[in-house]
A and B are shown apart, each in its own frame.
Chain A
Amino acid sequence: MGDRADKAARLETDVLVIGAGAAGMTAALAAAEAGARVILADRSLVGRSGATIMAQMTVAVALGEEVPDHWEHHFADTIQAGRGLCDAHLAQLVCEHGAREIRRLDGWKVGWARKPDGTIRQAHAPGHDRPRCVYVDFLSTGPAVAKTLRGRVIRQDGVTRIGDLCIVDLTVVDGAVTGAVAVSVADGRPVQLQAGAVVLATGGLTRLYRRNSASANMGGDGYALALRAGAELMDMEFVQFFPIGHLAPRLVGMDPIMWDPFRYKLGGRLLNAEGRDFMNDYGNQEAGQYNVTRDRATHAILSEVKAGRGSPAGGAYLSFQHLDEATLREAFGPVIDRLAKNGIDLGQMPVEVAPIAHYHMGGVRVDNRLETRVRNLFAAGEVVAGANGANRLSGNAITEALVFGREAGREAGRRALGASAATPAPAPAGAFDLVRAARAGGEAELAGAMTRLQAVMADDVGPFRTAAGLERALAAIAELEAEIGDMPPGQPGPYNQARLDWFDLRSMLLVAKTVARSALARQESRGAHQRDDHPLMASNWALHQTLELAGNELVLGRAPVQGAELSQVA
């Protein structure tokens, strides 16, 4: 190791935004527009990693282009889907300001699909009372949003973009965040970032699960950063499984969540091994229209598998065989050719689908201005808890990323500028210990750890849960924590991926524990949290569970739901 890797690089800024998906890029734009100097840092490439670019589907917003609509209707559907746990203020923020952000992107030429008369097309996605979801053809919503925002960020004065920067810890002095400690992935250098305010826009935790629909960067690192900095987490037990993730045959070059819009545009049929529609056997009323929310559809598919009526690979069949070739070609466009390259001919065969970890409703607890209880630490996008309660309505993720990104970025910008007279605080003692730590070997011992964690989470902290399974998971997580130890393996250096794995595991194991602990304590079934040993929803559980770190111990608490009763909004 040379001097270069040992010496910390130091950067100073008004606002540090961590994560460069839709939420982070929007936050960077908003903070810079407020006059702040911004560093936009990403673990991989700016605008190309994380969940946004993988979002192939739709964005829910009450534009009223397809049919008359008002944000209050969108709000009512959001609250309904959230099963009593939505924070009404945050949900209102998403629904009320969503239209403004979608129009802004339209002005930036994102390319929302339009009808010949120029109106924006809005699809009727499950859980919505009317057609409300905008999209970019074909399956290009996320890539188009990411590319458009990246283009704006590049042209925005005051934003410095840094890719391949892995944030390891936030620094906190006297209860206020002062920046972060990071590793420059390309060369292993430690980096100190000093900031007047920080926006966490790190996304969710789907990488904790064996089958997931997001990128390798979604390991819940933002939750761990927040916890260790002294912020609270909330609703961690609510992990959304996307019901019809692609399962078989093997499909490469396409994200596994691709089937949803085709199912609701074309009426794709979901069948069990006996070739029978089963969705309505589970108390749903799906009559020709695909309108069952994600928690219920996941429950129905996995119940069929459990009853021995699953498809060969362990899911359900999704069939478009009732449609002729011309209809399929028109709806799927070039996607048909990509499917053909994978040996899939939809006119001739069904595919197999199964629930796949997709989104996390829980996250960092924030106030109405998206600030955590750590002063000057804000959060935006999926990392925020509350807007989606116990189950997210389809289409709300990108809306939430854009709205929260704008609010959090602007607030953080104002805050940092208001405090600009303050001298940058030095990093707290010991802040660089982990990123500078060097020891001989240790890489090989990490083999299997990630896979085991993902198996434990999928099997015992997945869509179906029991006390026994959750206890088993917590024991397995503790074993893994002991195995990986408290020091990263090897030496700092260029693209030392085993070392990155260790930093990822450090966060993932902490976050896994928060999910399992909350799930064990919640003795009821609600939305995405289904307990086989407590199968009913209990009215006394209409509350949030919170988590904080006291020393190395996780402390579970409770908080009331800030919100409107359903009767008031329906």
Chain B
Amino acid sequence: MSATARLIVRRGRPGEPPSTSLYEIPYTPGASVLDGLRYVRAQLDPSLSVRHSCINANTCKECMILVDGKVEYACTARLEPREMKLEPLPNKAHLKDLVTEIAPPDERLDHALAARAGVGA
């Protein structure tokens, strides 16, 4: 039997009781944790939210998460054929699943609304 990686992924939104999903995925030597998460999203569970823009180049810097408790870029952390615990960054506002609010404060919608004195429609 080919090797598998078991990803234990923190799910849900702030205010909801903490929950996790377990995904068993095929392990390929050299693959990144983001490769694993992209496989989950594409093939198993599209409802899992994981933010990234570039896929592999480590240029967008959006995919930072906790891998086994350690801060890592999911695109450069290696997938391993064992159980791996994946969680959102603890020091940022949590949005959903592995996604936290990482946009600079002055590049968010609310900042623009305040600056432009926008109103509700």
Contact = CB atoms under 8 A, between A and B. Distances in A.
Interface of A: 7-13, 39, 44-46, 48-50, 53-54, 142-143, 160-165, 184, 186-187, 189, 191-192, 214-217, 249-256, 342-343, 427, 443-444, 446-448, 450-451, 490, 493-498, 501
Contacts of B106: 161
B75 A447 contact: no
Question: What secondary structure prevails in chain A residues at the interface with B?
Answer: loop
B62 A9 contact: no
Contacts of A494: 13, 95-96, 99
B30 interface: yes
Contacts of B41: 497, 501
A12 B116 contact: yes
20 contacts: A7-B120, A9-B121, A12-B118, A13-B116, A44-B60, A45-B60, A48-B53, A163-B104, A164-B108, A215-B55, A216-B52, A251-B56, A253-B56, A254-B57, A443-B46, A447-B43, A447-B44, A493-B13, A495-B99, A496-B49
Interface in B4-39: 13, 28-32
Interface of B is mostly: loop
B30 A497 contact: no
Contact of B107 (A161, A443, A448): A161
B69 to A, nearest CB: 21
B2 to A, nearest CB: 16
Interface string B80-121: 000000000000000111010111101111001101101111
B60 A10 contact: no
B107 A46 contact: yes
Given A45-B53, A49-B53, A216-B55, A250 B28 contact: yes
A48 B53 CA distance: 8
Contact of B109 (A46, A186, A495): A186
Contacts of A214: 54
Interface residues of B, number: 52
A447 B120 contact: no
Contact of B49 (A143, A187, A251, A495): A495
A394 B23 CA distance: 42
B48 interface: yes
Interface string B43-71: 11111111111111111111000000000
Contacts of B29: 250
B53 A44 contact: yes
Contact of A39 (B49, B112, B120): B112
A186 B103 contact: yes
A115 to B, nearest CB: 27
Contacts of A252: 30-32, 56, 58, 75-76, 78
A530 B91 CA distance: 51
Nearest to A498: B46
B42 A450 contact: yes
Contacts of A450: 42
Given A253-B76, A451-B42, A490-B47, 8 more contacts: A9-B120, A45-B53, A48-B61, A143-B59, A216-B53, A249-B30, A251-B56, A448-B43
Contacts of B121: 7-10, 192, 427
A497 B57 contact: no
A443 B58 contact: no
Contacts of B102: 45
B5 to A, nearest CB: 14
Contacts of A192: 121
A497 B49 contact: yes
A448 B44 CA distance: 8
A9 B118 contact: yes
B73 to A, nearest CB: 8
A186 B30 contact: no
A164 B109 CA distance: 8
A501 B46 contact: yes
A189 B109 contact: yes
Contacts of A447: 42-46
A9 B121 CA distance: 6
Given A7-B120, A160-B115, A191 B109 contact: yes
A427 B107 CA distance: 24
B67 to A, nearest CB: 13
Sorted nearest first, the 3 A-B pairs with minimum C-beta distance are A250-B30, A255-B57, A49-B53
Contacts of A163: 103-104, 107-108
A433 B88 CA distance: 32
B118 A48 contact: no
Of A8, A12, A250, A342, most buried by chain B (CB within 10 Å of CB) is A250
A520 to B, nearest CB: 27
A217 B55 CA distance: 10
Given A48-B53, A255-B59, A11 B116 contact: yes
Given A250-B28, A255-B54, A255-B56, A443 B103 contact: no
B35 to A, nearest CB: 8
A31 to B, nearest CB: 16
Contacts of A8: 120-121
Nearest to A42: B107
A162 B109 contact: yes
A53 B59 contact: yes
A256 B55 CA distance: 10
B109 A160 contact: no
Nearest to A343: B30
A45 B53 CA distance: 9
Nearest to B100: A495
Contacts of A11: 112-113, 116, 118
Which of A54, A217, A490 has the most chain B CB atoms closer than 10 A to its own CB? A54
B47 to A, nearest CB: 4
A184 B109 CA distance: 7
Nearest to B76: A253
Contact of A443 (B31, B47, B109): B47
A446 B41 CA distance: 9
B109 to A, nearest CB: 5
Given A9-B113, A49-B53, A54-B54, A162 B107 contact: yes
Given A11-B118, A252-B56, A497 B48 contact: yes
Nearest to A3: B120
Contacts of B75: 252-253
A343 B103 CA distance: 34
B19 to A, nearest CB: 16
